[in-house]
Structure 1
Amino acid sequence: MTYDEWFIQQGNLHANVMKKLEDKSVDEVIEYFRFDNMVKNEPDFCPLYKDNKKCHDMEDLNCYLCACPNFRFKTEGFEKTEEGRTLFSVCNIKSRDGSQYIGDDYIHQNCSGCIVPHREKYIKKHFNRSWFEVMKDVRS
């Protein structure tokens, strides 16, 4: 599955959950997306849920922004490095907790050490009932 395909699929999964929460307040929606609740009530939302595994090692993981609005990707790549690798994804805020996966001919952003979009304060600041609207700048 390409990142484009995953992105569309995840946005649709998010929209389906949001349909169930139309009558809920912003705080109630954010609370619903807490990891423990999602594992229990939305087991198909994330493949990691079946193993009760988190994508980020943090106590209060919130899955509302399962993809980060600061992540940028381009299917054809942003640029080629001097070493001939294609840079496919980057962190728009250059998080100090991010890193890169570097392969023989590619570079991808590694967000596993960053918890910025999974904090409820951050989610509330950037909240929109449309996940695609929050994520509108991710795909270049």
Structure 2
Amino acid sequence: MTYEEWFLKQGELHANVMKKLTDKSVDEIIEYFRFENMVKNEPDFCPLYKDNKKCHDMEDLNCYLCACPNFRFKDEGFEKVEDKTLYSKCNINSRDGSQYVGENYIHQNCSGCIVPHREKYIKKNFSRNWFEVMKDVRS
């Protein structure tokens, strides 16, 4: 699956959850997206939910921003770095991020970063339209 395919699929999944929450306040929506609630009520939102597994090892994981607005991707690649193609990166160069480096590719590894999964960050960047929050990820 390409980044673009994943991006569009995740946006659709997010929109389907949001349709159920049209009458809810911002705080209620953010609360709904807490990991424990999502595992129970939205098992198809994330493939990890079937195993009750978190993508980030943190307490109070919130899945509203299952992808980060600071993530940048380009399916054809940004540039060559020592004969490897850079396909994704962190726009804020998070100190908790890293890179997967393979034989001919480089991808951003966000597993150590919890920035977008904190409720305070979500509230600051909130939009009922996930694509609006994520508008800059395509480079």
Which TM-score band applies after superposition, normalised by the shorter structure?
over 0.9
Q: Which runs of 4+ in 1 moved over 2 A?
A: none
Structure-to-structure mapping, 1:15-94, within 5 angstroms: 15-81=15-81, 83-94=82-93
SS in 2 for 1:108: strand
Shift of 1:28: 0.1
Shift of 1:3: 1.4
Q: TM-score, normalised by structure 1?
A: 0.98
Q: CA RMSD in A?
A: 0.4
Shift of 1:64: 0.1
The gaps in structure 2 that reach 5 residues or longer are: none
| 1:118 counterpart residue number | 117
SS in 2 for 1:90: strand
Identical pairs, percent: 86
State the distance in 2 between where 1:122 and 1:138 align. 17
Task: Name the aligned partner's letter for residue 114 of structure 2.
Answer: I
State the distance in 1 between where 2:6 and 2:15 align. 14
Task: Name the aligned partner's letter for residue 63 of structure 2.
Answer: C
Shift of 1:93: 0.5
State the distance in 2 between where 1:27 and 1:54 align. 22
1:139 aligns with 2:138: yes
State the distance in 1 between where 2:22 and 2:91 align. 31
Report the number of matched residues.
139
SS in 2 for 1:27: helix
Shift of 1:51: 0.1
